[in-house]
Amino acid sequence: MNSEPVVITDTGMVSSVGITARQTTASLFAGVNRQCTMPELYVCKAEDPEFEDGTALVAAPLSYLDSYRGKNRDPARWIALIGSLGFSDLMDNSGYNDERFAETGLFLSLPPLLKGACNDTESGFIYHFHNRIEKDIFPFEIYTFEGHTGVFRMIDEARAALAENIISCAIVGGVESCLFPEWLERLDDDYRIKSTKNIDGYVPGEMAAFLIMEKHSPGAVKRKHPYIIEGSASTVASGLQSVLSELLTDTDNPPIVFGDLNGESKRMEEWGYARTGLGQRLGDPVRLEHPADALGDMGAASGAVLIAIAMDCLRCNQDLRQNALIFTASDGGERRAIKLARISKPESPS
């Protein structure tokens, strides 16, 4: 775990319930849900096709982009479009100055299926993404296709680059969409997406979220609402409980817990075991937030989405908890978590 203190100063996001980070979190707190059926895109297969009809896909799409969807059938092009919208919101929120470009790194988490789609998919995404954000390739760029834990891997990479003075500013983000017929069929065959055939599946979501990270300094702390990453932990062997336990150092100040639970029972079972094993260390009662209820599965964007929501939650936190514990789990066995704290006191609820 890298001990170099860093802060997150700004966020940007686009989701099915908001065209900005602020709108997304406000919609979530208000209980807004725009999941819908998409029979025009995909019909999930029946368990016995000879005797049953398939069921229309239920998803959480960026419905305000529907008029563009048919023109952007290529996954690299479409995911680049979503990513550019989240990036633009970050730029609007942060006042990022292009004079910092030479000392900025870009760290992006992308869907695993994008990596395996074809040989030039990754380069295609990079081309379309930079074309849309109207910026050249950053001096330092890293991409990962780890899935749910990808953003947290990128945060660790960014912390290391900041500590080594390779960069002075890190833009970390994640983009998620699997709403392409060929990808959906593959997920359907693997019993991953929710349907009458597979009630244990998840609702696919579309979103992008970005963060600006800097070293902890007086200049950074003067910004709007800085949050410090107090610690991070990861494992591929010990499970979720081990990762969470490593970050629960202050039993008198229990965190708000944010997770990437998405409706799949195996994720809930692992959380249940971790909750039982950690006992009172998570607080009594435990405050658990899992926004996939509204946003659908957050996939490669999970970490950045959860951080952006956690920051707003801590900013106007009615029970005055001072920190958030955020966990993610990828299909490959990776379990990653970070602990996030607000540097100043929470605002009084309005």
Strand 36-37 versus strand 58-59 pairing type: antiparallel
User: Taking 70 as the threshold, does the pLDDT of residue 220 lie above it?
Assistant: no
Q: What is the mean pLDDT of the chain?
A: 91
Identify the H or E element spanning 201. Answer: none
- On whether both 152 and 17 belong to a single domain, the answer is yes
- On whether both 268 and 181 belong to a single domain, the answer is no
User: Taking 60 as the threshold, does the pLDDT of residue 347 lie above it?
Assistant: no
Can you give the residue range of the structural domain that contains 280? 227-342
Residue 139 located in a structural domain: yes
Residues 322, 280: Cα–Cα separation, whole Å: 17
The band of 175, judged by pLDDT with boundaries at 50, 70 and 90, is very high
- On whether both 267 and 197 belong to a single domain, the answer is no
Instruction: Please write the tens of the pLDDT for every residue from 38-49.
Output: 999 999 999 888
- On whether both 132 and 197 belong to a single domain, the answer is yes
Residue-level pLDDT at 320:
72
Pick the range with the lowest mean pLDDT from 31-35, 310-314, 315-319.
Answer: 315-319
- On whether both 198 and 245 belong to a single domain, the answer is no
Residues 110, 94: Cα–Cα separation, whole Å: 23
Residue 221 located in a structural domain: no
Residue 1 located in a structural domain: no
Instruction: Please write the tens of the pLDDT for every residue from 93-140.
Output: 998 989 999 999 999 999 999 986 655 778 899 999 999 999 999 999
Residue-level pLDDT at 219:
60
CA distances to 102, 143, 152, 325 from 169, in Å: 10, 17, 17, 24
Task: Tell the residue number behind the tokens 């100043």, with chain if given.
Answer: 344
Residue-level pLDDT at 1:
46
Residue 163 located in a structural domain: yes
250 vs 24, which has greater pLDDT? 24
**pTM for this prediction:** 0.94
User: Taking 80 as the threshold, does the pLDDT of residue 223 lie above it?
Assistant: no
Residue 181 located in a structural domain: yes
Residue 220 located in a structural domain: no
- On whether both 126 and 12 belong to a single domain, the answer is yes
* Domain's final residue, options 182, 215, 248: 215
Q: How many domains does the chain have?
A: 2
* Domain's final residue, options 215, 237, 253: 215
- On whether both 181 and 253 belong to a single domain, the answer is no
- On whether both 56 and 194 belong to a single domain, the answer is yes
* Domain's final residue, options 162, 187, 215: 215
Instruction: Please write the tens of the pLDDT for every residue from 245-273.
Output: 999 988 788 999 999 999 999 999 999 99
- On whether both 99 and 173 belong to a single domain, the answer is yes
State the CATH number of the domain containing residue 121: 3.40.47.10
- On whether both 206 and 307 belong to a single domain, the answer is no
